[in-house]
Structure 1
């Protein structure tokens, strides 16, 4: 049974859904980076970075190249960098829309009428006491 394309896409985006993985991909956009530089740029334990790099490697998004005792990571293709740029454009548009709404709310001069207080206690009718009068 073949897996539907939408499910494969969802798995792909789930794989990207980790802040460290996104940060690694951002750092690799400009070319190969040694692991020691990734560690310097990302505040994370070496073992955690290694786990996240392994996920990216298994998915085929990044490749590793050993040069002597140095291991460098690079994007497997330029499409991932384009995906990150597209995400940045989308987020910029979304946040711009929110800031426009916030500016509009701040410009509104009409005061907001107060909301009447609602008592949670049941209202008991007053009963006149006998002998008063």
Structure 2
């Protein structure tokens, strides 16, 4: 018997559940990147980046190609970039709502 879809979705989102992985996916949404290009953008040690890239590879969210000693990463699907864009839109709405709530709290003052 196969895993229920909701469990697969939970595992999918769990694989996205790390700031370094999100940043890597954002970079790869723009274009293919070599590991050395990602390091300064992500701001972690090489070993940590390698570990997070391995998680993304196992989840089939990224693929690699080798050119000499350089390893390049790219997204397996442009829909991953779409998902990140949708998440940004959702977060923008949430933050706008929180900003409105904060403004209301400040306007009413202490009671």
Q: Same fold (TM over 0.5)?
A: yes
Q: What is the root-mean-square deviation of aligned Cα atoms in Å? A: 1.1
Higher relative contact order (CA 8 A, sep 6+): 2
Residue ranges of structure 2 left out of the alignment (5+ in a row): none
Shift of 1:48: 1.2
Residue matched to 1:48: 48
Q: Could you list the runs of 4 or more consecutive aligned residues of structure 1 that deviate by over 3 angstroms after TM superposition?
A: none
Shift of 1:105: 1.5
Q: Secondary structure at the match of 2:2?
A: coil
Residue matched to 1:86: 86
1:31 aligns with 2:44: no
Residue matched to 1:115: none
Residue matched to 2:97: 97
Give a deviation string over 1:28-85, Cα, whole Å, max 9, x none.
Answer: 1111011001112122111111111111011110011111121111111101000000
Between the aligned partners of 1:45 and 1:107, the Cα distance in structure 2 is: 45
Residue matched to 2:77: 77
Q: Secondary structure at the match of 2:64?
A: strand
Number of equivalences = 111
TM-score normalized by the length of structure 1:
0.80
Shift of 1:102: 0.9
TM-score normalized by the length of structure 2:
0.95
Shift of 1:3: 0.8
Q: Secondary structure at the match of 1:72?
A: strand
Between the aligned partners of 1:76 and 1:2, the Cα distance in structure 2 is: 23
The structure with the greater share of residues assigned to helix is 2
